[in-house]
Structure 1
Amino acid sequence: MSIEVGSKVQGKVTGITNFGAFVELPGGSTGLVHISEVADSYVKDVNDHLKVGDQIEVKVISEKDGKTALSIKKAIDRPEGQTSSYSQRPPRQRSVDSRSKDIRSKGNFKSKESFEDKMSRFLKNSEENLSTLKRNIGAKQGGRGGRRG
């Protein structure tokens, strides 16, 4: 019996791991319910939700290379409009007009410093950092003349 993607089937939990649970499906095939597909809420330990031998209803999410991905939370029928218990991020309060104004104002930004000024400041800072680094490395290596024997 071939199991179709999108179908709901009854299965028996045959094994539990830290990343999910293996479920024996009709026809003798086995699929995996990943920990993220066990429940709508956060699942820290699969053992808190399932036990070996449990009969559960699962939905077939995908089947690739003989591996069947299953979901318990997608097998649960919900009324239309109701989503999972995870709270959705609220929509942003900014309007489209304010976003376009921000973009336009950033495009008109004029730097007070010229490119040459920025480059000379960068080179000065780089030289200072390199000299400090060389000084610190020299101190750690014993400095001034190296090792004496």
Structure 2
Amino acid sequence: MTWHSAAGLDALPVARLHPLVRDTSRPAPDPDLLAVTELAARPLKAAAEAAEEIEDPPTWSAWQRLAPHAAVVLNSLSALPDSSDETIGAAAGAAYTAARYRASQGPYAAAAAEYGEVFTARLRDLVPATRSHWSVRCQK
């Protein structure tokens, strides 16, 4: 495993694994993966709803620990075809709060990437006509 840091002060360090190590470290497909991921989204949703002002310093210690999990849960649920829109919406809300936390801390590129993931996840809830309208408007 090697550590890399992208250029810029707001970039997060990235661990690069050898492909063989990466592939063997992944868990086997599990039929309960959806249930476990949806279960993980519940406390994140509750934390996001409780965080009124994420920009206030007293909330930072909690979101320092929660922010990475919010992004992982959202990405996992988005990749699972049987995920409910309600659960993805809950995970997107938590990931949005995590992105706000990141933006308040200064890693703006990471926050922007998370905002994009939240936007993509929330597009799933829109009707197809509205979805194409927003996709075109956001490409400008």
TM bin, normalised by shorter chain, reads under 0.3
**Larger RCO, structures 1/2 (Cα 8 Å, 6+ apart):** 2
Query: Scaled by the length of structure 1, what TM-score is found?
Result: 0.19
Structure number having the greater strand percentage: 1
Query: Scaled by the length of structure 2, what TM-score is found?
Result: 0.20
